[in-house]
Structure 1
């Protein structure tokens, strides 16, 4: 049992994949490599361009040969210019050729070139190449959406990432290679019994055995340790993607690299932290909420009448919540509890099943029979569309908390109040009440630091599925 020497450099490191290149390769491995690198899409792009030129448009032989030559040369260049792990899913070859043809077309128009019908058909045939390759990239992103990944780093970091990524649909951890902190003895049988030379060899062996296309290094010393840099160079030669996780102790921030002097720094500025994005989001929210209110007005009216007939009290429940930056506002909901619900809260606090400062009780006796149905379908939240129109809330954002809850927030949890609260949010479509307090806060912060309109639309679409499946609702 050895103590790790984390400062040991690796000398003359070579990937084991090069030494096995001359061995007979199984047909299944060849087929897997063809699929992972998108060769079928490249061949289809060339065949589609030829078919349009020769069969569909019946171009002369010289024009057809020109189309095939242009598309073939572009495909060969694109294939060689991209690493193996990026070829199947990348849109770069398609966009680059379209941009190049656009520049060429504008240049010819400026020069006064008058294209013939044959030239226009040839241009369409050439464009079939990037179109088909783009379709191939979309298909591969769906079929190969799970990236086979190997985690490398200290035991604590690797275990934390492996647990967090266990339920994800875009990454699959196929192996881990970890070590303990410096000067700490490793348990018997662990990878950390070896030097970093052996760790690197084990990573390369796992890449070859598990057909991994990505290696993620979860170590704070990744940029300073010579051994890990040698690992990155070896993976580069093996055409395997090598990534370094910026571990911020579970604080989800938007990170973008930029060069400062001769160093690489990570910017923590949120991508939509400017006035125009806030104006666009506000307009989108208010217009969408207003349209939804008009369309849902018969439903709102019927539900309101049913509540009044079903139990004593008003149909709309009003409650003060914390809005953006903690400013209080009155939130509207359909009443789902008895009118004395607030007075009975203290008696039920000892039965609280919620995490953190939240109060949750699965079988809350204050909920009316109709209210239970409304909650399970999230219909009780619909009056908050009025809050969205007023500007107190957004369609998507962290859920509005009670002032008594926000008063217990730590400094980093308070970050979730830097945007307007939402009618739905990222954690609502990822488990809702079934999530732990830490997971829900992490997802709220992930939204606050990375929101954009496309993400909002995706969350709204996923909200429909979460409501219909009643995922985590009670």
Structure 2
């Protein structure tokens, strides 16, 4: 959509869609709404409870009716209690009902009560509801990933987010509505009442035209701007989700909303920035590295022989890299280049294909034939398991950088050195050498600010897939 320059306020603004249009939208989109709200999943969970109780276990009518009534009441309550945009995808109904049954069973065991066969069968029938509800939530999370979305905000924010979300599978930007200030240095607060009034009308027209299900507002003043709050109320009447994105430009921080007094604040505290999480990560790293070194010993010996047989020089290459907080350490890799590779680097700088301080050359003449094979399969990285075992590196983390690179880091980029470098990382499984310098830094910072053990396991699993696919390897 066109960018608007509104210099005069629009008085008497009505931000509500006409009720006739709302009713028409609801009627035409009723089947879609039923699916998006998860009604089919809730109904199927109830039917599954009845089938298990009546058909599978052949329980008496009273027991079957009780199981169906319990699950039905719980699902109705969950449907009413959950926000509209969480009903189809939420695991809360299944989790809480399972927790309730677990607590009831525990009380019976503690009380040493006799648990009859009918109670066991009725409990199993009731559990059929949470199982089906969980499967329904998983299905909806897949089916509803590509959300038709409209972006609203200042020109720069909208353009940046549109570019960043262009290739994503979970959001589909179908339209943008943006504004710019009357003059470049004007603060947003001085123009919202004037400029945003027209944008509100434009957003509502775009919602009707593109049948969008979500509107994302990229504005730091969204909560304090009356026009945008009126937009949120209008979208509520049209049953369209309204979201405010915490746009921090190039910063990738962990954001968590919390209430401070009577205000909503965004916490920037990293979720695992404490001693116990770091200790657990270190323990897992060293345990996995130790076991891997033992199991891979024959392969390591075979690769070492191949390196020595292919060219003169040592099998293992040692180089000083920057570790956590910039502390230098010696990294181990299987040698993939000729012995005098470092001396020949200066002559190849003019052919550098990398961005930022990185040196990349796809057809690097210093790489040996066997070394190229090792790089394509990432087997040259295996000796770094020794660095992990020594505590200098982690299994997952940012790429271990050269001191010549870290000396060029800005304060923002230096943040990636606040954790141990990794044998693999988020950027390696997201494109590796195909990523630009800026995007690789963004990936590293995203990991540094949001890491947890579950994310580490997911990255390790994706690493095997990326290696087998040779995704982005040089």
TM-score by length of 1: 0.92
Q: Does 1:15 align with 2:17?
A: yes
Q: Which residue of 1 aligns with 2:189?
A: none
1: distance between equivalents of 2:39 and 2:461?
33
Which deviations, in whole Å up to 9, do the C-alpha atoms of 1:340-390 show, x marking residues without a partner?
111111111111111101111111111111111111111111111111111
Q: Are 2:131 and 1:131 aligned?
A: yes
Structure 1 segments unaligned to the other structure (5+ residues): 185-191
Q: Which residue of 1 aligns with 2:142?
A: 142
CA–CA separation in structure 1 for the residues paired with 2:88 and 2:323: 45
RMSD over aligned CA atoms reads 2.4
Matched residue count:
464
Residue 33 of structure 1: how far off its partner (Å): 2.4
Q: For residues 60 and 182 of structure 2, what CA distance do their matches in structure 1 show?
A: 71
Segment of structure 1 superposing worse, 444-453 or 296-305: 296-305
Determine the structure 2 residue equivalent to 1:85. 85
In 1: Cα distance, 2:258 partner to 2:439 partner: 30
Question: For residue 173 of structure 1, what is the aligned residue in structure 2?
Answer: 173
Would you say the 8 A contact 1:84–1:240 is kept in 2?
A: no
- Displacement of 1:112 in angstroms is 6.6
Question: What is the correspondence of 1:48-447 to structure 2 with a 5 Å cutoff?
Answer: 48-107=48-107, 114-183=114-183, 196-447=196-447
Matched, 1:39 2:39: yes
How has the CA–CA distance of structure 1 residues 2 and 76 changed in structure 2, closer, same or farther, with 3 Å as cutoff? closer
Secondary structure of the 2:259 match is strand
Contact 2:354 2:361 in 1 (8 A): yes
**1:188 aligned residue:** none
Q: Aligned pair 1:4/2:28, yes or no?
A: no
The alpha carbon displacement at 1:80 in A equals 2.4
Question: Could you tell me how far 1:195 is from its partner in structure 2?
Answer: 5.2
Deviations 1:265-322 (A, max 9, x none): 2211100000000010001111111122122212111111011011110010000000
Residues 212-262 of structure 1 show CA distances to partners (whole Å, capped at 9, x for unaligned) of 332211112212211111112222333332221212221111111222222
Report the Cα offset of residue 137 of structure 1: 0.7
With over 3 angstroms needed to count, the CA separation of the structure-2 counterparts of 1:153 and 1:22, relative to structure 1, is closer
CA distance in 1, matches of 2:205, 2:76: 30
Structure 2: runs of 5+ lacking an equivalent:
185-191
Q: Does the CA contact (< 8 Å) of 1:8 and 1:196 recur in 2?
A: no
Counterpart CA distance in 1 for 2:44 and 2:459 is 35
Q: Distance in 2 between matches of 1:322 and 1:306?
A: 29
Cα distance in structure 2, aligned partners of 1:342 and 1:279: 37
The whole-number CA distance in structure 1 between the counterparts of 2:25 and 2:422 is: 58
- C-alpha contact 1:10 1:197 (8 A) present in aligned 2: no
The corresponding residue for 2:187 is none
**Residue in structure 2 matched with residue 189 of structure 1 by the alignment:** none
Rounded to whole Å, the distance in 2 between the matches of 1:319 and 1:299 is: 22
Hey, which bits of structure 1, 4+ residues long, moved more than 6 A?
Answer: 6-10
**2: CA distance between counterparts of 1:156 and 1:2?**
13
Q: CA deviation at 1:24?
A: 9.0
For the residues of structure 1 that align with 2:294 and 2:12, how far apart are their CA atoms? 68
| SS in structure 2 at match of 1:449 | helix
- The alpha-carbon deviation at position 178 of structure 1 amounts to 1.5
Asked if the contact 1:7/1:227 (under 8 Å) is kept, the reply is no
Q: Taking structure 1 as reference, are residues 111 and 304 closer, same or farther at Cα in structure 2, changes over 3 Å only?
A: closer
**SS of residue matched to 2:253:** coil
Is the 2:6–2:198 Cα contact (8 Å) retained in structure 1? no
CA contact (8 A) 1:4 1:183 kept: no
